[in-house]
Amino acid sequence: MKDWPETFDLAVVGGGNAALCAAITAAEAGASVLILEGAPKTYRGGNSRHTRNFRCMHKGPMFPLTDAYEEEEYLHDLMLVTKGKTDEGLARMAIRSSEECLPWMMAHGVRFQPSLSGTLSLSRTNAFFLGGGKALVNAYYNTAEDLGVKVAYDAQVTHVHREGDRITHLDTEIAGRPVTVKARAFVLASGGFQADIDWLARAWGPSARNFLIRGTPYNRGVVLRDMLDQGAESVGDPTQCHAVAIDGRAPKYDGGIVTRLDCVPFSIVLNTNGERFYNEGEDVWPKRYAIWGRLVAAQPDQVGFALIDAKSIDLFMPSVFPPVKADTIEELADKMGLDPQAVRATVDGFNAACRPGKFHPTELDGLATEGLDVPKTNWARPLDTPPYYGYQLRPGVTFTYLGLKVDAHAQVHSAEGSIRNLWAAGEIMAGSILGQGYLAGFGMTIGTVFGRIAGKEAAAHVA
Amino acid sequence: MSLDLIIPAPSATDEARRQIEICNACRYCEGFCAVFPAMTRQKSFADGDLTQLANLCHNCRGCYYACQYTAPHEFALNIPAALAEVRVESWERLARPQALARLFQTHGVAMAGLLVVALAVFFWALGALRPVEGAGFYAHLAHNTLVAIFAPAFVLPLLLIALSVRDYWREVGGGRVRLAHLLRAFDSAARMKNLSGGHGEGCNFEKGDRFSDRRRVFHQLMMYGFLLCFASTSSATLMHYLLGLEAPYALISVPKLLGVPGGLMMAVGAVGLGWLKLRADRSLGAARVWGGEMAFVLLLGAVALTGLGLYVATGSALVGPLLAVHLSTVMVLFLLMPFSKMVHGFYRLAALVAEAGQPAPSSANE
Ligand SMILES: Cc1cc2nc3c(=O)[nH]c(=O)nc-3n(C[C@H](O)[C@H](O)[C@H](O)COP(=O)(O)OP(=O)(O)OC[C@H]3O[C@@H](n4cnc5c(N)ncnc54)[C@H](O)[C@@H]3O)c2cc1C
Ligand code: SF4
Ligand code: SF4
């Protein structure tokens, strides 16, 4: 801190993708920039370090993307997942800008690779980072450092001082010591609030205490709360979060991508009472995996149990922890803490409802059960081939929807109008575009597009 | 404290298995090297599979700096170190006699000790076996004496290595070798493809999370320099026996044209590799063999420098002592081939051939 100027041109709150894109853009425009990353250096990069790709519009093949993915199709995909809850103007702008993001990212150190094994379906729409999100974050920190950007780790912003239509300074705690940070412009890129379990529980209900948080423990929404308390305009459903069903043995925080389970379409999924509760074969997994977080969250104790037999165990990506394994259904139930008799009855009922037919793991095969209250409409094969395997499922929260409302310049507003030297980028404002649902790879697109806009606007403001 | 509270430390292979299973559910590092695509062929990993993955790994460290699960995260991933540990263990296990490998892989001091012994022997030989005639360094030690000493010291270690590589092949379940597999493996080694980072900008050996080509450059200088020196010696032997042309050779001669640049490349390579080794983070490799590896780099440097020195000193009184030192270093290098870092080249090549013989990694899922 000894080499810090009295006042920075720009202070960026957060140290993930959106923050870095803003900092680099502003520094290249000549601004003196400080990044305040709440996490220690080993955990820098927020949820961005867990990512693997970003969704990118392109008119023709463009490494690493194949074929073409044009604006209308992209928008259509987005509208489908958000069920129309989207600001079309902002969405179109983000989509259109995504194309120029790819070369920009490369020019700033990010490297790409062909679609990862097991994700061929994304090779046209999503560009994969070589080495994943942490490699991207590392590249950006190096670029920022080379541009003279200062970075403070373990630097938690506790309060943003607003005076009328301006922000004057930040209260921070850097390595546990209070520090006041002065700057002429500010970019907020501190993510959502999903790591604040109390807040989640207030918004969602007490069952949220049983949720696992897939990403960083440092996104506690302190700055978001502070801004909302000061009358910043908000957007997005405050009670909702994006949750998927993940391995119940995952760590409480930061389990990341490896804790996902792709077994559901080939399983039957039971609750603690040993009963099935939803059609496991409703659609192909990429289209359904996002609903299972809620489904499991609605069950007693917020837990589900996926049972598979030997026929299906190799049909999905390997899991991070080995499944529970047993030679009989009863033994499996017992090992998983379920009532063996109840599970036996459910399995017998399910098996009896299965019909002969051709099983096809990679497409909707129409192999459905008959006569069950909760049907399974594809990939329904009896569980009859030992050994049997089981996974415990729990809801894993990816992000929250509530955020700051921004305009096309990434500027933050209050009821009285825009806050003139304050911009927001990334998850903290993603609700402006993603009202609900989620489109794989769109989080990084929003962060990159709005991070760059925020950086540019902030630099222009102080120039 | 009761005894059953003491949990035995997991073996290096078990620890690598734990880590690789996490990677196999992640796969973000697939673009860095051959290890990650290879692992996607399996869901579970037998010991032999891990031996193979470990020997495929070039310790570029890309997958450490890019990993979101390194300590203090509870998954505590450190793939470069975990695989390095399994790799060195496999060399120790497959070497015969194993005790020698354990000694020399780990301890630089042991290598230095052997060098002292070799020095003593050669100085004695130079005094006791000095021939009555002969030119250049053959004035100090007759050609036939040299051959009598070095031929077995070269051939026997190679035989031992051949046996070990055969055992390796069995352990990893290598299949029938075809020419195409060999070509692919040699191509990969010739370009050090696995140190390119996948994007061609090098590895993360000595500059933290920044990429650098230095290790690749110094390694290739060393490797090609060594091969040139080896070719130089071989050509001299052929000239001696087939053409009756005896050393010393003129500067414009095959042995010198190969040997001098080769020696220079080796010397630069050794200094460079040693320097990088000092700068690199030891905890991302097999820390316990650091000393042995460093000693091996220094030994290679000493072979090159004394060889070059011998050339420069032609005709002077220094030839005798320099010759003793040079021959000692070469002797130790040869003798320790099966028991030092030198052996990595053989296993690495075997691993690349075995990998080339496998079906292309599947992308069957989804
Ligand atoms: C497991 C997982 C996988 C994902 N995969 C993808 C993917 O492949 N593609 C995709 O597009 N999206 C993906 N996402 C979503 C994606 O991570 C986010 O959309 C994106 O990272 C948001 O970037 P950001 O910069 O806004 O937030 P983050 O990267 O989360 O950064 C927020 C930063 O703010 C810091 N911070 C928080 N509070 C404070 C404070 N008070 N003071 C100072 N600093 C603070 C944090 O430490 C952190 O550095 C994934 C999410 C998860 C959890
Ligand atoms: S090293 Fe880390 S990031 Fe790379 S594949 Fe393994 S778990 Fe994933
Ligand atoms: S250290 Fe490099 S070569 Fe070894 S596994 Fe990791 S990325 Fe591959």
Question: What pLDDT score does B8 carry?
Answer: 67
In 10 A of CB A462, how many CB atoms? Answer: 18
Minimal-distance CA residue of chain B relative to A43: B68
Higher pLDDT, B168 or A85: B168
Least confident of A205-214, A446-455, B310-319: B310-319
Residue B365, pLDDT > 60, answer no
Angle at which helices A71-82 and A88-107 cross, to 10°: 120
Question: What pLDDT score does B5 carry?
Answer: 56
Please report the domains of chain B, with CATH numbers, ordered by start residue: 12-90 (no CATH), 96-356 (1.20.950)
Instruction: Please give the average per-residue pLDDT across A355-361, as a whole number.
Output: 95
Please choose, from the candidates A150, A158, A161, the residue with its C-alpha nearest in 3D space to the C-alpha of residue A177: A158
Instruction: Please give the average per-residue pLDDT across B98-118, as a whole number.
Output: 90
Distance CA B343, CA B345 (A): 5
- Please provide the average confidence, as pLDDT, over all residues in chain A: 96
Please indicate if any CB of chain B lies within 8 Å of the CB of A316.
yes
Q: Mark which of A366, A396, A426 sits at the end of a domain.
A: A396
Question: Tens digit of pLDDT for each residue in A11-62?
Answer: 999 999 999 999 999 999 999 999 999 999 999 999 999 999 999 999 999 9
- Taking CA atoms only, the protein residue closest to ligand 1 atom 18 is A443
Residue B97, pLDDT > 70, answer yes
Please choose, from the candidates B262, B293, B276, the residue with its C-alpha nearest in 3D space to the C-alpha of residue B217: B276
Residue B23, pLDDT > 60, answer yes
Question: What pLDDT score does B362 carry?
Answer: 59
Question: What pLDDT score does B140 carry?
Answer: 81
Question: Tens digit of pLDDT for each residue in A114-128?
Answer: 887 777 778 999 999
One domain, residues A104 and A195 = yes
Instruction: Please give the average per-residue pLDDT across A266-290, as a whole number.
Output: 93
One domain, residues A280 and A351 = yes
Give A330 to chain B, closest Cα distance, Å: 25
Higher pLDDT, A24 or B43: A24
Question: What pLDDT score does B146 carry?
Answer: 84
Nearest to A117 among B40, B70, B197 (CB): B40
Give the CATH number for residue A365: 3.90.700.10
Higher pLDDT, B6 or A276: A276
Question: Tens digit of pLDDT for each residue in A241-262?
Answer: 999 999 999 999 999 999 999 9
Distance CA A122, CA A439 (A): 11
Which structure tokens are listed for B307? Answer: 């060889």
In the chain, the amino acid numbered B233 is T
Instruction: Please give the average per-residue pLDDT across A410-415, as a whole number.
Output: 96
A234 — phi, psi (to 5°)? -120, 170
What number of CA atoms fall less than 13 Å from residue B276's CA on the CB side?
24
Residue A269 near residue A304, CB atoms below 8 Å: yes
Give the CATH number for residue A206: 3.50.50.60
Question: Tens digit of pLDDT for each residue in B255-265?
Answer: 999 999 999 99
In 10 A of CB B230, how many CB atoms? Answer: 13
In 10 A of CB B241, how many CB atoms? Answer: 11
Question: Tens digit of pLDDT for each residue in B235-254?
Answer: 988 888 888 888 778 888 99
Q: Mark which of A367, A396, A425 sits at the end of a domain.
A: A396
One domain, residues A353 and A288 = yes
Question: Tens digit of pLDDT for each residue in B137-153?
Answer: 778 888 888 888 889 99
Please indicate if any CB of chain A lies within 8 Å of the CB of B281.
no
Distance CA B166, CA B149 (A): 27
pLDDT-derived band at A378, boundaries 50, 70, 90: very high
Residue B363, pLDDT > 50, answer no
B5 — phi, psi (to 5°)? -80, -15
One domain, residues A253 and A188 = no
- Taking CA atoms only, the protein residue closest to ligand 1 atom 50 is A51
With a CB-CB cutoff of 8 Å, which residues 51-70 of chain A face chain B? 52
Question: What pLDDT score does B361 carry?
Answer: 75
CB pairs under 8 A between A and B: 107
One domain, residues A392 and A421 = no
Distance CA A254, CA A43 (A): 10
One domain, residues A59 and A204 = yes
Give A163 to chain B, closest Cα distance, Å: 39
One domain, residues A83 and A201 = yes
Please indicate if any CB of chain A lies within 8 Å of the CB of B66.
yes
The finding on whether B84 has its CB within 6 A of some atom of ligand 3 is no
Please choose, from the candidates A68, A73, A144, the residue with its C-alpha nearest in 3D space to the C-alpha of residue A110: A144
Number of domains chain A contains: 2
Alpha-carbon torsion (B241, B243, B249, B251), positive or negative: negative
Residues from chain A that touch B197, judged by Cβ atoms under 8 A, are: 111
Distance CA A320, CA A311 (A): 20
A224-262 residues labelled b (16+ CB within 10 A) or e (exposed)? bebbbeeebbbbbebebbbbbbbbbebbebbbbbbbbbb
**Report field, pTM of the whole predicted structure over 0.90:** yes
Share of chain A above pLDDT 70, in %: 100
Provide the terminal-to-terminal Cα distance of chain A, rounded to the nearest Å. Answer: 24
Instruction: Please give the average per-residue pLDDT across A363-375, as a whole number.
Output: 96
Residue B12, pLDDT > 70, answer yes
Please indicate if any CB of chain B lies within 8 Å of the CB of A124.
no
Distance CA B311, CA A123 (A): 58
- Taking CA atoms only, the protein residue closest to ligand 1 atom 35 is A14
From the CA of B78, the nearest ligand is 2
Tokens 């679609």 belong to A115
Higher pLDDT, A81 or A160: A160
Nearest to B43 among A119, A135, A314 (CB): A314
Residues from chain A that touch B30, judged by Cβ atoms under 8 A, are: 113, 116-117
Q: Which of A17, A43, A116, A389 to mutate to test the interface with B (most CBs of B within 10 A)?
A: A116
Distance CA B29, CA B19 (A): 13
With a CB-CB cutoff of 8 Å, which residues 72-111 of chain B face chain A? 72-74
Instruction: Please give the average per-residue pLDDT across B197-223, as a whole number.
Output: 96
Please indicate if any CB of chain B lies within 8 Å of the CB of A121.
yes
The finding on whether B297 has its CB within 6 A of some atom of ligand 2 is no
With CB atoms and an 8 Å threshold, state whether A320 touches B21: yes
SS3 A67: coil
One domain, residues A317 and A438 = no
Give A230 to chain B, closest Cα distance, Å: 35
Question: What pLDDT score does B2 carry?
Answer: 46
Question: Tens digit of pLDDT for each residue in A301-354?
Answer: 999 999 999 999 999 989 999 999 999 999 999 999 999 999 999 999 999 999
In 10 A of CB B178, how many CB atoms? Answer: 12
Nearest to A131 among B22, B62, B73 (CB): B62
In the chain, the amino acid numbered A251 is P
User: Ligand 3 center to residue B60 CA distance, Å?
Assistant: 5
One domain, residues A185 and A270 = no
Please indicate if any CB of chain A lies within 8 Å of the CB of B4.
no
Share of chain A above pLDDT 90, in %: 91
Question: Tens digit of pLDDT for each residue in A89-122?
Answer: 999 999 999 999 999 999 999 999 988 777 777 8
With a CB-CB cutoff of 8 Å, which residues 226-265 of chain B face chain A? none
Instruction: Please give the average per-residue pLDDT across A419-438, as a whole number.
Output: 94
Distance CA B173, CA B168 (A): 8
Residue B161, pLDDT > 60, answer yes
Full residue range of the structural domain in which residue A384 is found:
244-396
Which structure tokens are listed for A420? Answer: 């003139």
Residue B366, pLDDT > 50, answer no
With CB atoms and an 8 Å threshold, state whether B68 touches A317: no
Best mutation site among B61, B70, B188, B195 for ligand 3, i.e. most ligand atoms within 8 A of its Cβ?
A: B61
A273-300 residues labelled b (16+ CB within 10 A) or e (exposed)? ebbbebbbbbebbeebbbbbbbbbbebe
One domain, residues A96 and A130 = yes
Which structure tokens are listed for A432? Answer: 């402006």
Q: Which residues contact B5 (CB under 8 A, 6 or more apart)?
A: none
Share of chain B above pLDDT 70, in %: 96
One domain, residues A267 and A386 = yes
One domain, residues A226 and A289 = no
Question: Tens digit of pLDDT for each residue in B49-66?
Answer: 999 999 999 999 999 999
Q: What is the largest CA-CA distance in chain B?
A: 78
Q: Mark which of A351, A372, A396 sits at the end of a domain.
A: A396
Question: Tens digit of pLDDT for each residue in A280-303?
Answer: 999 988 888 889 999 999 999 999
